[in-house]
Copies of this chain bind each other. A is one copy, B any other.
């Protein structure tokens, strides 16, 4: 008794169909938003049968996930490491400003928002996303902060996970909940306030 009902043959997979499905998912997510995004519409737009989608992806969210991975695989791959010029504040501003720019780009932002919402609804997708993208990204951030901590630019008692939450969390919130405009100035203010703290500078 196998748990798998069917194991589709990856060697026979139609690459053109895969690409047109992912592209259709991205386009539709950008055009109609998450609430009106349906697998039927994706299949119709892609000129694909619904079964082709269900054969290769377990859920709508998984399609979106792969679609965004395809979009991210641009010219160069692997973000590897965060910049380290020795100036922590400048480096963080560079990174967060880049994030702001990306989140203001509808081509990325709308499908990403759709994925974020789907993740809230689907624990299996959440686990997959956390393992394949979120946790690796967090480790990259943690690594940059750890170097800064060793260099004495971050206090020795600071929990680096809390530090990551403080730096990237506010941006994520503003973006997902559309709480306010996402600007480079806001990113800078977050970095400065997180680094210096709320208390006035000690004399």
Contacts and interface: CB of A to CB of B under 8 A. Distances in A.
Given A189-B159, A190-B166, A197 B197 contact: yes
A75 interface: no
B202 A202 contact: yes
A166 B154 contact: no
A155 interface: yes
Contacts of A156: 200
Interface extent on A, as a size class?
35 or more
A200 B199 CA distance: 13
A163 interface: yes
B155 A162 contact: no
Interface string A18-43: 00000000000000001100000000
Contact of A172 (B117, B166, B173, B193): B173
A165 B155 contact: no
Q: Is the interface of A mostly helix, strand, loop or mixed?
A: helix
A10 interface: no
B35 A198 contact: no
Contacts of A196: 155, 197, 199
Given A177-B120, A195-B199, A165 B152 contact: no
Interface in A53-105: none
A1 interface: no
Interface in A139-194: 145, 152-156, 158-159, 161-163, 165-166, 169-170, 172-174, 176-180, 186, 189-190, 193-194
Given A170-B169, A172-B173, A176-B120, A162 B193 contact: yes
5 contacts: A155-B201, A165-B174, A166-B194, A194-B198, A197-B199
Given A155-B201, A193-B197, A195-B199, 15 more contacts: A35-B121, A120-B176, A120-B177, A145-B198, A159-B189, A159-B193, A161-B180, A162-B189, A163-B193, A166-B194, A169-B170, A173-B173, A194-B194, A195-B197, A202-B202
